[in-house]
Amino acid sequence: MKKILILILLFLSIQNVNALKIVSLGDSIPDGYRLSDKNDSFDNMFAETLNSSFYEHSYIGMRSDDLLRDLDLKEVKENVKSADVVIINIGANDLLDLFDYVDLNEVGIVVETGTTPKANLDIKTISILKEYLHNIFTNKLKPMSMKAATDFSITFPLIIEKVREYNPNAKIIVNNLYNPFFNISVPLLKIDLSDIEKICDEVITEFNSIINSHEGYEIIDIYSVLRNNNYLNVNPLSLSFDPHPNIDGHKKIYELYINELCYKVTYDGKDYYVFKNSKAEIKPKYKFGYTFIKWNKDINKVNSDMEIEAIYRFNYLYVIIPLMMAIAVIIVIKKKH
């Protein structure tokens, strides 16, 4: 009797779900670094919107060679194998590790642990900072970054190859790199760091050309979206050069994912987001006495935003069977009396 009851409850339940598994791989950006709630990271929000199961393997400082190695870890490998979607955000730390060579203490600018300096932002400090950063970017970091790009051109395609080896059918989504130091000059304070911006842009463009040169995945252009200081933690007024997106930046990346990858299917007043040209796994509401026949529109390959309705047919069995059961119970009761 208990098993029958469970089956009935399952039959009557309304389960509107997309049976997808999303796996996110990469560095501190999918990890949600500097967010007060890591559930606000772009990949978490995306997986929640698609009502998908979600697995994340990302951490602060992950480089492309780290990810290539970590793909051999049993848990990571098994999750990639069973994924419907694999998100990859990698490459920034191949460059940012070079910033270990930037030491403001060398020029008398004392910096606290983290990103907030103690130094006052006076004219003398600005002049020293500008000259120091220009010299180290031009003479040391730029040549080293080109070597990093060469290394990335080897490791990145190996990452894609390994993911594809584990899972030939998964949808692979790759974020390109953005320039966190775009437009960080402050004209009113006579802080002109445009040369640093240009050097960074040149190197990042080289990394993105590597990402663009391969096939088998979709590229999300966060480079274009995050060219706005309001979406980043960079703040030249406080000499903070933390390159991570803030919560508004993560929302922008999330919106880009939704707009670039999905269509909206509206059913019974609720919106469902479905990957473009894929099937919408939406189950119709249970309607007592009726059998679901079909949708009023084809949802096997969604190629636009749409609103759908479920088409039902009255099923006499829903009336006859309960009626027969009721009659049987009455007969049994009468016989006992």
In a shared domain, residues 179 and 322? no
Q: Under a CB-based contact definition with an 8 Å cutoff, are residues 231 and 222 in contact?
A: no
The answer to whether residues 93 and 173 belong to one domain is yes
Torsion of CA 146, 147, 152, 155, to 10 degrees: 170
Query: Burial of 178 by CB count in 10 Å (0-12 exposed, 13-18 middle, 19+ buried)?
Result: buried
Residue 112: CATH number of its domain = 3.40.50.1110
Residue 9 lies in a domain: no
Residue of 262, 267, 259, 182 lying closest to 226 (CA atoms): 182
Pairing of strands 218-220, 262-267: unpaired
In terms of DSSP bridges, do strands 262-267 and 270-275 run parallel, antiparallel, or are they unpaired? Answer: antiparallel
Residues 261/173, Cβ–Cβ less than 8 Å: yes
Q: Digits of tens for pLDDT over the chain (337 positions)?
A: 444 433 333 333 334 444 799 999 999 999 999 999 999 999 999 999 999 999 999 999 999 999 999 999 999 999 999 999 999 999 999 987 666 556 556 655 554 434 444 445 566 666 666 676 667 676 667 777 788 899 999 999 999 999 999 999 999 999 999 998 777 665 555 566 666 677 788 889 999 999 999 999 999 999 999 988 789 887 666 666 788 999 999 999 999 999 999 999 999 999 999 999 999 999 999 888 888 999 999 999 999 999 999 999 987 766 666 667 777 777 767 776 6
Q: Which two tokens stand for residue 52?
A: 């998908």
Final residue of a domain: which of 219, 245, 271? 245
Show the tokens assigned to 49. Answer: 């919107």
Q: How many CA atoms lie within 13 A of 245 on its CB side?
A: 29
pTM of this prediction?
0.80
Pairwise CA distance, residues 136 & 129, whole Å = 11
Query: How much is the pLDDT for 97?
Result: 66
Look at the chain and report how many structural domains it folds into: 2
Please check whether residue 221 lies inside any domain of the structure.
yes
Residues making up the chain, counted from first to last:
337
* 15 touches 283 (CB < 8 A): yes
**DSSP tag of 188:** G
Q: Is 210 helix (H, G, I), strand (E, B) or coil?
A: helix
> Do 154 and 232 have their domain in common?
yes
Output the six-digit token pair for 250: 């993560």
Domain closes at, from 245, 269, 300? 245
Cα separation of 298 and 318, whole Å? 27
Cross-sheet strand order for the sheet of 21-26: 53-58, 21-26, 85-89, 171-175, 218-220
Q: Let me know whether 172 and 299 are in one domain.
A: no
* Domain shared by 326 and 198, yes or no: no
Residue 67 and residue 192 share a domain: yes
Contact of 123 with 48, CB cutoff 8 Å: no
Is the same domain home to 216 and 320?
Answer: no
Task: Give the count of beta carbons closer than 10 Å to the beta carbon of residue 144.
Answer: 14
Domain end marker among 196, 219, 245:
245
Q: What is the pLDDT at residue 7?
A: 37
Q: Are residues 241 and 300 in the same domain?
A: no
Clarify whether residues 24 and 146 are in a common domain: yes
Q: Is residue 257 part of a domain?
A: no
Residues 294 and 236 in one domain: no
User: What pLDDT is recorded for position 191?
Assistant: 61
The range of the structural domain enclosing residue 316 comes to 284-336
- 224 plus 127 within the same structural domain: yes
